[in-house]
Amino acid sequence: MIRLRRTATAAALTVTVVATAVLGLAGAASAHVTVNPKEATQGGYGRFAFRVPNESDTASTTKVEVNLPENAPVGSVSTMPVPGWTVAVQKRKVDPPIDVHGSQLTEAVSKLTWTATAGGVKPGEFQEFPVSMGPLPQVDRMVFKVLQTYSDGNVSRWIEEPTPGAEEPEDPAPVLTLTAASASAGPSAPAASAPPAARADDDEEDADSAAIALGVAGLVAGLAGLVLGGLAFRRTRREPTPRA
């Protein structure tokens, strides 16, 4: 019993150590600024949140600067109030103008800066900064370069653009992947435009169905005749023979 308990205890400790190591590596690999969700549709609108974890053990995050990509301007950008933070919106001129529902916009948001009014994001915590954007540009992705300032003056620069198929950079910028609108939204071919061969096959199937239906009807009629004949025969046998 003692040996079994020691073995179980050792196994439990081993599992705990391995799990801690795995979770620790996962946490270290993912502890950078991200945008959520990570995918959206070109031309659409969406609510996105910039998730900012605090990586310092002693200092708090007091300012977050999100730079929108210059090659992919967005016509409408609005922020959601975040308790304990203020936000400043910076715009820039765009040429050519952005077409938003028939209106030509000559300015677009270039940077969003959140500044803490209280303690900020403390060690071991994270904060999300929601943003509504649209219509999303006709590009494959949007790269948001982010600066994260700590209360001790240190700045984390999340500005490296990830390369598809390559290892993640040390300080990756948040990336929003954009996909084209679904082709099912376009006009579909009418059903009447089926090729003649398909219509011929349909005609043959209809003919076979009709033949089967006629055969079943004939079989039913035959069975009904047999039943009626049997009843008539039984009735004849039951009637008394008239005396001479």
Instruction: Render pLDDT for 206-225 as a digit per residue (tens, 0 to 9).
Output: 555 655 555 555 555 555 55
Please name the residues in contact with 240: beta carbons below 8 A apart, sequence gap of 6 or more.
none
Token couple for 75: 């016509």
Q: What is the pLDDT of residue 181?
A: 84
Share of the chain above pLDDT 70, in %: 62
CA atoms within 13 Å, Cβ hemisphere of 20 = 6
Task: Kindly tell me the sign of the dihedral angle through the C-alpha atoms of 110, 116, 121, 126.
Answer: negative
Q: CA 100 to CA 89: how far, in whole Å?
A: 19
- DSSP secondary structure letter of residue 102: T
Tens of pLDDT along 24-78?
433 444 579 999 999 999 999 999 999 999 999 999 999 999 999 999 999 999 9
Q: How far apart are CA 105 and CA 98, in angstroms?
A: 5
Residue 197 pLDDT exceeds 50? no
Q: Give bridge partners of residue 129 from the DSSP assignment.
A: 50
Q: Which of 42-46, 178-182, 237-241 has the lowest mean pLDDT?
A: 237-241
- Concatenating the DSSP letter of every residue in 49-85 gives EEEEE---SS--EEEEEEEPPTTS--SEEEE---TTE
Radius of gyration, alpha carbons of the chain:
37
Which amino acid, one-letter code, is at 186? Answer: G
0.85 exceeded by pTM: no
Show the tokens assigned to 208. Answer: 């076979």
Residue-wise pLDDT tens digits, 91-136: 999 988 888 888 899 999 999 999 999 899 999 999 999 999 999 9
Lateral strand order in the sheet of 155-158: 85-100, 103-116, 61-67, 145-150, 155-158
